[in-house]
Structure 1
Amino acid sequence: MAGFHTTDDLDAGQRLLVRIDVNAPIEDGAVQSTRRFERHAESIRELLDDGHALAIMAHQGRPGRDTFVTLEQHADVLSELVGEEISYVPSTFGEEAIEAITELESGTGVEDPGDAILLENVRMTDGELPEEPPEVKAQTEFVRTLANAFDAYANDGYSVAHRSHASIVGFPEVMDAYAGPVMADEYEYNTSVERREFDGDVTMVLGGTKAEDVIAAMDNLEDTVDTFLLGGVVGELFLRAKGHPVGHDLEDGPDLYDDNYEKNADLIDDVLERFGDRIETPVDLAYEDENGERAEHAVADVEEKTVSYMDVGHETVELYQPIVEDSAAVLVKGALGVFEDERFSYGTVEVLRAAGESDGFCVVGGGDTSRTVSMYGLEESGFDHLSIAGGAYLRALTGEGLVGVEALERAAERMDG
């Protein structure tokens, strides 16, 4: 376990400043409830039942994007999931926020829970952005204003632990700091593949569009993973490196391949040379035909890429399934296709189904990939852990430290010293 303290170590009835991550899709102006909301609602419920009074911080979107909105709707979603009112405060450290924080009252337990408020989108706050060293963030007016108003800080947002923003790394520099339930749980499972011993083969299923991070994860886990099963953009890039005429952009298609390949060609070649016999790439790929139906090409038959490939094909799934089923551990990161479109969900769903029904240890990482499980009615109990983290999850797999975790560890050293 990491060298940080958790909220389980706290005495009941504290005033806590809590960072969560409920960054969500927005459709037609409405925030969509996601697994992140559900997981953090469990944490909030647990903290309130311990009598803690909570001022909650979160972000939504990035400046300049359509998803960069206030957290008013987020407070409503959380209130419904928690079963307690979480009041929205349209300020983070202004007068309105300070007044609301001052009025927070702790409780005594389940029958008398503490109060909770949700402060405004922290990315609308001066000092939150950009990424800067923790000691710089600790000196922002944002951090200096709020730090003295609470007994402790709790970071429950593992999925943003790779961001050196004020709400993540600034407060632990100047306050007693703890990992919340989601943070502790995510850290434990997402670092488990490198730390655990398994009685059998370890398999990684890798897909999605973030090729650079995925390839770095493969490179880092060469000595841990026995077989890599590829799909999505990264699968096509590896096929291109093997000499197949796929893995490049089409004139009328998305720009997903050429820049990625240019940046990573040397590393892909190096990985293939060092342990290519342990890397399985798709043998067929699915696309949308002229009638709007799913169709498939055998990779060996492709002489020129003329369509956008949206999923791995049935023969690839038949190749991957027994490898997954016979593994002692399976780690999944990234979808094998455009799973949101039911026509192209087959590869992702069926490989996940095989993982969930196997007897091995199984962790599924990345918010989108985890969403496939509930979207297509797979049995959640078959998976040891469904992570809500994306970028932080990949950082953990590549062996890079997470600044948010490191901030909690430094705080623990200071507190213990």
Structure 2
Amino acid sequence: MTAFNTIDDLDDAQRVLVRLDLNSPVEDGTAQDNRRFDRHAETVGELAEAGHRVVCMAHQGRPGRDSFISLSSHAEVLADHIDRDVGFVEGIYSETALEAIRSLEAGEVLLLENTRMADEELPEEDPEVKAETKFVQTLAGEFDAYINDAYSAAHRKHASLVGFPLVLPAYAGRVMQSEYEANTAIAEREFDGQVTMIIGGTKATDVIGVMNAIGDRIDTFCMGGIAGELFLRADGANVGYDIDDSELFDSQWDENADTIGELLADRGDQIELAVDLAYADEEDDRAEIDVAEIAEKTESFLDIGSDSVAAYEPIIRDSDAVFVKGALGVFEDERFSVGTVGVLEAIADTDCFSVVGGGDTSRAIEMYGMEESDFSHVSIAGGAYIRALTGEPLPAIELLIDAAK
């Protein structure tokens, strides 16, 4: 049973305010299509098809950054995904915006301007404070229900995320529902067999925190990426430090060396380290070297090696559940996609519960011809995924749970 009310619980013919997360790459001032539009289209399309009046709000970028733009182009992309018109208004709770909201007919969809263009949106404050803002108070009077579908922003205490559940009946959209159920599975679901986690990516501090928090729930960690090198360094290998201006390793080593050492000491039998690494040779081709043979790090290692992939694959195939947090190499470059693609293909071929998350890792599925349907869940969340894995509270979700009570 879901912990909160969902759009299945809505009464008929409602005026609904729907919070999405359409934060997207921006090129030449225009939002680029990505997986988030496709996911949120399920919620928006279902609501419109059911005859609700649907008003959507979302954020894009942060003030002062090039990605901080209007949502006018987002409305066009969303319309393509739901195969119906999406109106757009250059306002959030201005009189113009309120008039556009009031003029909606059943089944019509409207997108409001970037929520972060409202001064009251961004400061992280308690929900009770946000609920009293003019932003929330003005808009709330126009709606029968609030629907939060922005799981990937659920760790934020912004007005559009935590203010409305205190003043309107609150529900979860399809993205919120599916992400919550999949990403809390480590903590809440019992598995019959081995549970494996693939650890990679560039933000070692995040994943090391995950390992420390959920070690009791995981049988095997398969290591790659920056974290993988740092663990190799702690294990005595001559890797895991900066050789240029990248500043990817040393600062994270200084922050996490003690925790890494403790994890190796306490959970060394659960941690599988790479036995070889890949780099670009003088001809700019992929080359591999055994970790034991590295006397000094003179090249940037961009992937785990083939022997490491071969060692990880049987672990995956023997697992009842596999969770992925981060890529094992620079998969955007086909030469260094071997690790990431190898483990993803092994997961796809295995009859196990699987969740793929962590930054852009899920993009590898599409890039290399795999199907999302081969995995139990492909997460579009970053920070919220980390919070869920470590058991930290997600304020927007806690409010949905409270609302259901």
**TM-score using structure 1 length:** 0.94
Distance in structure 2 (CA, Å) of the matches to 1:44 and 1:127: 25
Q: Is 1:213–1:398's contact at 8 Å kept on the other side of the alignment? A: no
Equivalence for 2:129: 136
Question: Is 1:246 aligned to residue 239 of structure 2?
Answer: yes
Equivalence for 1:82: 82
Question: Is 1:361 aligned to residue 390 of structure 2?
Answer: no
Distance in structure 2 (CA, Å) of the matches to 1:406 and 1:293: 50
Q: Is 1:317–1:350's contact at 8 Å kept on the other side of the alignment? A: yes
Map 1:30-179 onto structure 2 (within 5 A): 30-106=30-106, 114-179=107-172
Quote how far apart the aligned CAs of 1:48 are. Answer: 0.7
Equivalence for 1:312: 304
Q: Is 2:43–2:174's contact at 8 Å kept on the other side of the alignment? A: yes
Q: Is 1:331–1:364's contact at 8 Å kept on the other side of the alignment? A: yes
Cα deviation digits, residues 166-209 of structure 1 (max 9, x gap) = 11111112111111111011101111122222221110001112
Greater shift after overlay, 361-370 or 183-192? 361-370
Distance in structure 2 (CA, Å) of the matches to 1:60 and 1:103: 26
Cα RMSD for the two superposed structures: 1.3
Distance in structure 2 (CA, Å) of the matches to 1:242 and 1:25: 38
Q: 2:396 aligns with which of 394, 401, 404?
A: 404
Distance in structure 2 (CA, Å) of the matches to 1:286 and 1:89: 50
User: CA 1:287 to 1:64, structure 2 compared with 1: closer, same or farther past 3 Å?
Assistant: farther
Return 5+ residue gaps in structure 2 as ranges: none
Distance in structure 2 (CA, Å) of the matches to 1:131 and 1:307: 42
Corresponding residue SS for 1:368: coil
Question: Is 1:332 aligned to residue 324 of structure 2?
Answer: yes
Quote how far apart the aligned CAs of 1:380 are. Answer: 2.6
Corresponding letter in the other structure for 1:203: T
Q: Is 1:209–1:233's contact at 8 Å kept on the other side of the alignment? A: yes
Equivalence for 2:269: 277
Corresponding residue SS for 2:217: coil
Distance in structure 2 (CA, Å) of the matches to 1:303 and 1:123: 50
Greater shift after overlay, 60-69 or 16-25? 60-69
The percent of aligned pairs where both chains have the same amino acid is 59
Q: 2:384 aligns with which of 368, 379, 392?
A: 392
Corresponding residue SS for 2:191: coil
Q: Is 1:325–1:355's contact at 8 Å kept on the other side of the alignment? A: yes
Quote how far apart the aligned CAs of 1:27 are. Answer: 3.3
Return 5+ residue gaps in structure 1 as ranges: 107-113
Distance in structure 2 (CA, Å) of the matches to 1:366 and 1:116: 31
Quote how far apart the aligned CAs of 1:31 are. Answer: 2.2
Q: Is 2:29–2:69's contact at 8 Å kept on the other side of the alignment? A: no
Equivalence for 2:341: 349
Map 1:177-326 onto structure 2 (within 5 A): 177-252=170-245, 254-326=246-318
The aligned length equals 405
**TM-score using structure 2 length:** 0.97
Corresponding residue SS for 2:302: strand
Distance in structure 2 (CA, Å) of the matches to 1:288 and 1:88: 48
Corresponding residue SS for 1:222: helix
Distance in structure 2 (CA, Å) of the matches to 1:246 and 1:367: 24
Distance in structure 1 (CA, Å) of the matches to 2:223 and 2:163: 38
Distance in structure 1 (CA, Å) of the matches to 2:55 and 2:184: 29
